[in-house]
Amino acid sequence: MNRIRFAFALAALLLWAPARPQTAEPQRSSLPSREIAPAQLLAELRKGGYILYFRHAATDFSQNDEKMKSFEDCANQRNLIDRGRSDARIVAAAIRRLGIPVERVLASPFCRTVETAQLLFGRAEKMQEVRGGPSAPADAERYAALRRILATPIPAGANLAVISHGNPFYSIAGPPYLAEGETAVIRPLGADFQIIARIPADRWAALASAARN
């Protein structure tokens, strides 16, 4: 009898318990990646109208951001290592040599992303929107501003550079994760966007020779 009463009490409790809110997933691009040949990729980038999304260069994973007091508090953030700085300089030289025009440079306000932007292009326009909203809840609205940036068409003649992090891009573009220093080349389509290339940091220098073959 006691077991029966307990079962009824448990069932009543479950019926009256408030349902846990469902967290919406970030909206991802509905289009599959479409890799194009190196020669065509270089020609398109020289014409402009694309977005170059860079994940910041290599960092020191023994550091973290837990104690940071502000975005300017670099001492309490995860920062670039010398290899990351060297990689960024090499990529910057390759982009200049390839004649790829970049007009605006938007950067997440963390020290590692701003420094990467400065090393790549000598400038950085700090923008909270390119890293997403508050860390909780991680819902569809968190990365809505970034998704709009990646979908907004860019006028021909130059490209837009965005220097940010791996998690925001994964959330709206899907796997695989961008490696540190890796670049996604994005074609903005107004209501959506499409990835046409992923370029690791050590492959920029080879793009020109690959395009000639």
State pLDDT tens for residues 74-126. Answer: 999 999 999 999 999 999 999 999 999 999 999 999 999 999 999 999 999 99
- The residue extents of the domains of the chain are 27-212
Q: SS3 of 103, please?
A: strand
- Using CA atoms, how far residue 192 sits from 30, 147, 188, in Å, is 7, 8, 7
Radius of gyration of the chain (CA): 22
What is d(CA 63, CA 47) in angstroms, rounded to the nearest whole number?
40
At residue 211, the pLDDT reads: 63
Token pair belonging to 213? 């073959």
Note whether 111 and 77 are within 8 A (CB).
Answer: yes
Note whether 186 and 194 are within 8 A (CB).
Answer: yes
Peptide bond into 137 cis (omega under 30): yes
Q: How far is Cα of residue 110 from the mean position of the Cα atoms in its chain?
A: 13
- The per-residue pLDDT for range 21-79, each reduced to its tens digit, is 444 444 565 555 667 888 899 999 999 999 999 999 999 999 998 988 999 999 999 99
Residue 4 has pLDDT above 50, yes or no: no
Paired residues of 111 in beta bridges: none
What is d(CA 99, CA 45) in angstroms, rounded to the nearest whole number?
9
Residue 15 has pLDDT above 70, yes or no: no
Determine the topology of domain 27-212 in CATH: Rossmann fold (3.40.50)
What is d(CA 186, CA 128) in angstroms, rounded to the nearest whole number?
20
Token pair belonging to 120? 């790549």
Residue 178 has pLDDT above 60, yes or no: yes
Note whether 159 and 100 are within 8 A (CB).
Answer: yes
**pLDDT band per the 50, 70, 90 thresholds, residue 198:** very high
User: Over pLDDT 90: what percentage of the chain?
Assistant: 69
